[in-house]
Structure 1
Amino acid sequence: MQALPLSELRVVELGSGDALAYCGKLFADFGAEVVKVEPPGGDPDRQVAPRVERGGGRESASFAWLNSNKRSVTAKLDDPAGVVRIERLLADADLLLDARHPVEIEASTLSHRRLRETQPGLAITALSWFGEHGPYRDYLATDAVCRSLAGLVKLVGPAEGPPVLPRDGQTAVIAGLTAFIPTLAGLFARADQGARRFAVNAFEATLQIAEFDIALALEAGSTRPRIGLNRFGRGFPVGNYATKDGWLGVTVVTPAQWLGFCAMIGLPELGPDPRYSATNDRFIHADELNSIIRPVLMHRTAMDWFERGLALRLPLALVPDMAQLLAQPVMRERGAFATVEIGTASFEAPVLPQRLTASPGKPNGRAPLCGEHDGVELSPHRRIADRAAGASEALPLSGIRIVDLTMGWAGPSAVRQLGDLGADIVKVESCQYPDWFRGTDPRGPYHPERTYEKTYWFQTMNRNKRGITLDLTTADGRAALTKLLAGADAVIDNYAADVLPRLGLDVAAMQAINPRLVIVTMPAFGLTGRWSAARAYGSTLEQASGLPSVTGRDGDPPTMQHAALGDPVGGLNAAAALMLGLTYQQRTGDGQHIDLSQVECMLPMLASSIIEQSVTGHTGPRLGNRHPRFVPSGCFPCAGEDQWVTLVVQSDAQWAALCRVMHRPDLAHDPALATADGRRADEDRIEVAVRHWTSTVRPELAMVTLQEAAIAAGVARLPVDLVGDAHLLATGHWQPVVRPFMGPHLLPSVSYREGFAERPYPIERLAPTLGQHNHEVLREIGLTEAEIGDLHDRGVIGRVATAKKSGGARQAAE
């Protein structure tokens, strides 16, 4: 059996929280020795429901999943003996993952500045809610508060409100992945460049989900309103529909998909109807069209419609509940779930989706009991880095070349992550089939006005890349790509599973070209299995994962989160997969295929619900905006039109503070409300009191007042609000740039800082215009000036989009 990619690493986890645990899980499941440091008595998250009887007590099943394959030792951070013990652990560790609050770190004997002096070869990554600088640094937060501030709440839910809050655990996955990528990149280069320190914050990490909506808002100058459950974006139909049996997820975007959908439901006359043929027109006539579509979909089961959609290459999905998801043959055949053990207990949970075919990770495993490894001597270990990385070092992935065959959001954002860290990304499009994020409708001004160079969201997803065009339906186009692959370190595509094989560019063919290539494919359901040919957008992935079935209020339809969630989640997971593949390649010289399923990438986002189903045999009712542990919790109306603030009371002391803020001593002195259980029994009355106060206060003032009282709270922002967010402005998140065809505009930054910097990396390259780097890249792979000119004259390359060739290969990326 091959050694796992990270088996040479020793990692120490300090602090608590799901983001830390998930980042550590990525290291542990791929072979690193991860030592979790807990306080005596255990991490408080060991008590989070659902809990299992592990022999001698009950313990959190979700905690066990997050911490499988790790070791546990106990130490008190405020005790000299505990500090010494931790220092011994760090003495030969490669990496410290630290989730203590920035203020606590600065004041600690184990401060990062001191560790950089005493242990310069130790890489460090700090994880926090808001980073180490800026006005939000000391704010208290939860998943719901963080996502409210990130513009991911206000657009979700019924038009009249309140906006719908997410379930806990999702922000942790995003933040954990976001931390893992630069951390592993820094370790990748540590032998030559030294050990790096990164500070990652969950707020900016979560903004990666909002990037598309922010770009839409900046382009339009405003944000679309909240228009109802499962109604979002500018497309239609997009949402969940009841059928004869089960729920069907529908996402129709392009004109061709609309024609195919109408034909599928037996109403072909709707397709060319001029009232509905354009995307925006369908959006305007949504209520009218829904009155036609909904009764028709009730004639067949969700599975019937889904299978018809597969044949017609339509982006449809079954929307399962947790029991259905755990039983799905496709998931079972691909090994999407595996056993977690803690003590005498065992249950099933999602497996990390980075499916490395040559060096697969551990499919979950055993979680340690608290302090299980106290007194256990660790094996001798020698870290590779012997110094700290200097400020003049190149970015950690400098010298790595990745061929980007992706389109849309998920794939391009994945490769962008590595471009941000210094990799040379060569994006391959064709003049006949540009990236569809340049525009999905080639009619009207698309060609004459070159609108494909002007879409805001394309700029966001494709910074720090070079761009070329190659018509891969031609032998010369494929020959040029072959030369490019021969000298590359990795290649990634997110086409549907059958597209590249039809061009003679399947995985085996690419491995024959370059055996050391890391090849990442990322169709919706992976490259294997009966649903491998399914088409999908980010919304399709969310639907197929089952997440809508646990979001929102009990009795509502399965509720979408209105952010094409699957795209950024798939992109982050693909970036992590690339880094794992490159690390293995660095150690062994070997390439491999990574078979990523974007639907499986979504499963950690709802791990707690999957685990609850596995442990208890059922999933509890949806709670809407209420929280299973914290009372009160919700999104409450503020003064003004459609203004909201999210607040979460996490302790009895915070309840007393909230009562003072609301000037309600009667509630504070009511003994029945002194505990969370007591407040839950009277939650309706409490929420009335909270609404009575919040409705008299502006949302910004409500947030500041609550935070000053040490209560987690955040304004429910619109995406367009984020360009003026005081914290993001203070920390340099927005970078002003000027690009041909676009003019001046803002681009978001990475969600981490290197060293102790207050500002992120500067953006080195703007998104390429179509074919911008044809000449320089083709010269680099050995083509002569005459050969390049000939390719241009015959339309194999170019810098202007052209009409699609009839009968040409359909390169539908997602």
Structure 2
Amino acid sequence: MPRPPHAVLPLAAIRVLEVGGGTALSYVGKLFADFGAEVLKLEPPGGDPLRRQAPLVETGEGRESALFAWLSTNKRSLTADTAAASGLERARQLLPGCDVLLDARPRDEREAAPLGIGLQHLVAAELSDFGDSGPYRDFAATDTVLRALAGVFACTGPAEGPPSLLGGIAGAVTAALAAFNAVAAALWSGAGRRLEISLHEANIAVAEYQAAQSVTNPEVERRYGVNRFAPTCPLGVYRCKEGWLGVSVVTPAQFRGFCEMIGIPEIGHDPRFVVGLDRLRHVEELEALFVPRLLGRSAEEWFAEAIRRRLPFAVVPDMATLLQTPTHRARDAFATVERGNARFEGPTLPQRLTRTPPLPGGRAPRAGEHDGMAAPPARGPAAPRPVPLPLAGLRVVDLSMGWAGPLCTRQLADLGAEVIKVEACQYPDWWRGVDPRPAFFAERRYEQDVRFAVLNRNKAGITLDLTRPEGKALLKRLVRDADAVVENYAREVLPKLGLDYAALSAERPDLVMLSMPAFGLEGPWRDARAYGSTLEHASGLPTVSGAADWPPTTNQLAYGDPIGGLNAAAALLVALLHRRRTGEGQQIDLAQVECMFTLAAPWIIAASVTGDAGPRLGNRHPELVPHGAFPCRDEGWTVVAAQDDAAWARLARAIGRPDLAEDPALATAAGRRIREGALEEAIATWTAGRTAEAAMAALQAAGVAAGAVLWPSALKRDPHLAARGFWQDAERPFIGRHEQPSAPFREAGKGPYAVRRPAPTLGQDNTAVLGGLLGLRPEELQRLEAEGIIGCDAVPVAQRKARTPII
């Protein structure tokens, strides 16, 4: 999907000042820069430390980080040491001419010398590891420490442990997307704001599924082994005659289809295996049946058959293969990054706006390349006082289901948008449950799933049978007064229903419509079905995860869903900012698999630079030594990372081994690498006598990055999150009191954005929306309900008519 010639850049009118360090900050800046904003990156003398992170490329001016170059495409670099008075003065000269300040300086520097105070037009976002309050606010952190304390790792890995730690930049990218969404929403509001973003809280979005499910299904909080996850089975990566196949089976129909595909149809009808948890309880028996059969054909052959049968499977490529995949090449999923004389490829931004796409790749500046630029002219007069919520006045019609789409719209709803969720009584949101048995409907269990409640708060909910002419007509009327539509149906569904972008934009020409197909709206894989796990499998991430002797390893139950949802919100906000400036709407073709490529970026870039993604390191780190998850009392685990050489010496003393701290052979990471196994044993001996929380506290007191590996449900008892008011009480019919996680962004100095209303029950707002907003009379609503076009009760599977499916 080449970039159209002369396509405008939607954020070209915005100027951003990027101050501080870290991958999260750099990726927020990349999102702005690649969409056309002028991003001024302030670097300390000698350049950002990330310029020295492997893999390195020869630029003609020395060797520099390829990953840093990818993070810095299309930015300008200026030298300014903001820890010194002269650097602060330079930043203060630049800020009046900027719209956005991205500030990730250490907290003591930010508090001692705040930037942007008094600039009423400015959107200032302060990024920190744990936020500006709470007992962890001054903790040392790495990407893995943040994710351990966010509940991301506990469920992955061998049953006996250790939990498997996905390396790379996944935590930073996840947090950066949340930060970008908050800033973009503030820009949409047209008034300055000061925002606080916690990288830790942003990553809880990945663990929300298990945290919510654990309320009613405690089985989700166990490690069942590599490539095994509750509450479904099979879910993982399996060897084929050639290559590896990612398998995700959730519904009873999918299990029947899988069994038919591999030649054991009778197993698909065995009553012991109707639902996922039952299949997981028999996983050894089932794998003994299907693993040998998968060896009979190649992964490519199985994938082609899965597309035909509408099963959510994927070939699991290594990084070199991923880079050459024709489907991705045709969509320009990878593009050239330039840094001096160096040329290599990295992922392009996945937010594919069809009218105003991002720049594919680009040039990264040398350190201080733009030092001579004058301060830009100051922006206009101060904007009016902001409304309480930045997206107040925005209306979104939400046709999405499951996790990714509803997370996208939940972010918008949390920020104040009016989100109207549309379901059908015949096909309610599948996160209400997929159990086909009559008791599920008779007892209204579809109203009792906490997962649905967490993903759909702050939204209104209506029902419309979109297979019926009157249901379609009502949706079109709703769209006339909406700013945006979000949908994640299978690609062919809305065109068959006459409700695709062409049809809906005829109702509102400036409509922004976001579609979230797994592999894009066009191409040979456009009809492939996928869950979040399928997207992770197809991204190649399992091939760089886990220990070297493991099969390619699924890292999380469904990484692709939250990552897709966060990227979708970013795409929608960029398109809305463009529409606000130009009046133009457009469709967004967000291939969710491409959203995963940014998580795999370090290995994709390494494969492009060197031809090899590098060895699988398990829980070790390519630069930090030692690094890993260590056993503690009461079956706990703590992540420990020596973030630099000085931290190593403090770590050695904290575990009672001053001899190691004073050993000159261990003074550098290279020296420690030679004896890494012995150092890990020393740490494990010390942690084994302490709880995970006590080990973390002792090491953090010594200035060492450490974090307990928390189960998702334990997040609700975490003292830091409690102190920050992260968990909010909500009351909902059929569930009662339950806890809702807050958005990871807030107005600086204030509490989290409120959960203003619980998730709707099925059809709860039919009268308010169809009657109040569209003006239907009570007798019309009664007729629609009698005819089954609207309603408040889910139709049992056995009673559903044969109509065009909408899932």
Q: Which moved more, 1:15-24 or 1:665-674?
A: 665-674
Asked if 1:776 is matched to 2:768, the reply is yes
For residues 7 and 637 of structure 1, what CA distance do their matches in structure 2 show? 50
Equivalent position amino acid for 1:55 in 2: G
Is the 8 Å Cα contact of residues 220 and 230 (structure 2) preserved in structure 1? Answer: no
Cα deviation, residue 278, structure 1: 2.9
Query: Which one of the candidate residues 513, 522, 526 is aligned to 1:532?
Result: 526
Asked if 1:309 is matched to 2:306, the reply is yes
The aligned residue for residue 739 of structure 1 is 732
Equivalent position amino acid for 2:179 in 1: A
Cα deviation, residue 385, structure 1: 6.1
TM-score, structure 1 normalization: 0.97
Matches within 5 A, 1:89-128: 89-108=94-113, 111-112=114-115, 115-117=116-118, 119-128=119-128
The aligned residue for residue 799 of structure 1 is 792
The aligned residue for residue 54 of structure 1 is 59
SS at match of 1:635: strand
For residues 225 and 360 of structure 2, what CA distance do their matches in structure 1 show? 39
Cα deviation, residue 442, structure 1: 2.6
The aligned residue for residue 676 of structure 2 is 683
The aligned residue for residue 403 of structure 1 is 397
Q: Taking every aligned residue pair, what percent have the same amino acid on both sides?
A: 52
Matches within 5 A, 1:252-401: 252-377=249-374, 380-384=376-380, 386-387=382-383, 389=385, 393-401=387-395
Is the 8 Å Cα contact of residues 196 and 388 (structure 1) preserved in structure 2? Answer: no
For residues 299 and 21 of structure 2, what CA distance do their matches in structure 1 show? 42
Asked if 1:496 is matched to 2:490, the reply is yes
For residues 364 and 707 of structure 2, what CA distance do their matches in structure 1 show? 34
The aligned residue for residue 702 of structure 1 is 695
Matches within 5 A, 1:232-243: 232-243=229-240
Cα deviation, residue 383, structure 1: 2.7
Matches within 5 A, 1:278-677: 278-377=275-374, 380-384=376-380, 386-387=382-383, 389=385, 393-640=387-634, 642-677=635-670
Asked if 1:246 is matched to 2:239, the reply is no
Equivalent position amino acid for 2:175 in 1: A
Cα deviation, residue 101, structure 1: 2.1
Deviations 1:515-537 (A, max 9, x none): 11101000100111110111111
Equivalent position amino acid for 2:200 in 1: F
The aligned residue for residue 143 of structure 1 is 143
The aligned residue for residue 187 of structure 1 is 187
Is the 8 Å Cα contact of residues 631 and 679 (structure 1) preserved in structure 2? Answer: yes
Is the 8 Å Cα contact of residues 220 and 229 (structure 2) preserved in structure 1? Answer: no
Asked if 1:810 is matched to 2:805, the reply is yes
Is the 8 Å Cα contact of residues 122 and 385 (structure 1) preserved in structure 2? Answer: no
- Please list every run of at least 4 consecutive aligned residues from structure 1 whose deviation after the TM superposition is greater than 6 angstroms: none
Q: Which moved more, 1:76-85 or 1:166-175?
A: 76-85
For residues 606 and 458 of structure 1, what CA distance do their matches in structure 2 show? 29
Cα deviation, residue 219, structure 1: 2.4
Is the 8 Å Cα contact of residues 152 and 210 (structure 1) preserved in structure 2? Answer: yes
Which ranges in structure 2 are unaligned for 5 or more consecutive residues?
1-5
Cα deviation, residue 776, structure 1: 1.3
The aligned residue for residue 42 of structure 2 is 37
Deviations 1:12-43 (A, max 9, x none): 00000000000011111111100000011100
Q: Which moved more, 1:661-670 or 1:459-468?
A: 661-670
TM-score, structure 2 normalization: 0.98
Deviations 1:705-738 (A, max 9, x none): 1001000000011111110000000000000111
For residues 515 and 82 of structure 2, what CA distance do their matches in structure 1 show? 44
SS at match of 1:218: coil
Asked if 1:760 is matched to 2:752, the reply is yes
For residues 403 and 275 of structure 2, what CA distance do their matches in structure 1 show? 22
Equivalent position amino acid for 1:807 in 2: A
Cα deviation, residue 686, structure 1: 0.8
Cα deviation, residue 388, structure 1: 7.5
Cα deviation, residue 222, structure 1: 6.9
For residues 776 and 725 of structure 1, what CA distance do their matches in structure 2 show? 39
Taking structure 1 as reference, are residues 733 and 168 closer, same or farther at Cα in structure 2, changes over 3 Å only? Answer: same
Is the 8 Å Cα contact of residues 522 and 598 (structure 1) preserved in structure 2? Answer: yes
Cα deviation, residue 581, structure 1: 1.1
Deviations 1:325-367 (A, max 9, x none): 0111100111100000011111000000000011111112000
Is the 8 Å Cα contact of residues 430 and 471 (structure 1) preserved in structure 2? Answer: yes
Cα deviation, residue 84, structure 1: 1.7
Deviations 1:103-140 (A, max 9, x none): 221012xx14xx323x2222100111100000000001
Is the 8 Å Cα contact of residues 195 and 385 (structure 1) preserved in structure 2? Answer: no
For residues 493 and 387 of structure 1, what CA distance do their matches in structure 2 show? 34
Taking structure 1 as reference, are residues 385 and 417 closer, same or farther at Cα in structure 2, changes over 3 Å only? Answer: farther
Cα deviation, residue 563, structure 1: 3.0
Q: Which moved more, 1:413-422 or 1:158-167?
A: 158-167
For residues 263 and 382 of structure 1, what CA distance do their matches in structure 2 show? 67
Taking structure 1 as reference, are residues 425 and 246 closer, same or farther at Cα in structure 2, changes over 3 Å only? Answer: same
For residues 247 and 381 of structure 2, what CA distance do their matches in structure 1 show? 50
Q: Which moved more, 1:43-52 or 1:87-96?
A: 87-96
For residues 622 and 510 of structure 1, what CA distance do their matches in structure 2 show? 47
The aligned residue for residue 3 of structure 2 is none
Cα deviation, residue 3, structure 1: 2.9
Q: Which moved more, 1:361-370 or 1:777-786?
A: 777-786
Equivalent position amino acid for 2:139 in 1: Y
Cα deviation, residue 652, structure 1: 1.6
Cα deviation, residue 381, structure 1: 4.5
For residues 316 and 741 of structure 1, what CA distance do their matches in structure 2 show? 35
Cα deviation, residue 223, structure 1: 5.0
For residues 180 and 389 of structure 1, what CA distance do their matches in structure 2 show? 22
For residues 237 and 724 of structure 1, what CA distance do their matches in structure 2 show? 31
Asked if 1:158 is matched to 2:158, the reply is yes
For residues 385 and 335 of structure 1, what CA distance do their matches in structure 2 show? 41
For residues 14 and 742 of structure 1, what CA distance do their matches in structure 2 show? 45
Deviations 1:631-652 (A, max 9, x none): 1101001122x21110100222
For residues 224 and 12 of structure 1, what CA distance do their matches in structure 2 show? 42
SS at match of 1:219: coil
Query: Which one of the candidate residues 711, 714, 725 is aligned to 2:707?
Result: 714
Is the 8 Å Cα contact of residues 223 and 718 (structure 1) preserved in structure 2? Answer: no
Matches within 5 A, 1:212-251: 212-220=209-217, 223-251=220-248
Taking structure 1 as reference, are residues 310 and 604 closer, same or farther at Cα in structure 2, changes over 3 Å only? Answer: same
SS at match of 1:207: helix
Give the number of equivalent residue pairs. Answer: 799
For residues 84 and 693 of structure 1, what CA distance do their matches in structure 2 show? 47
For residues 170 and 287 of structure 1, what CA distance do their matches in structure 2 show? 31
Is the 8 Å Cα contact of residues 221 and 712 (structure 2) preserved in structure 1? Answer: no
Deviations 1:440-482 (A, max 9, x none): 1131422111001110000000011000000011000000001
Is the 8 Å Cα contact of residues 51 and 61 (structure 1) preserved in structure 2? Answer: yes
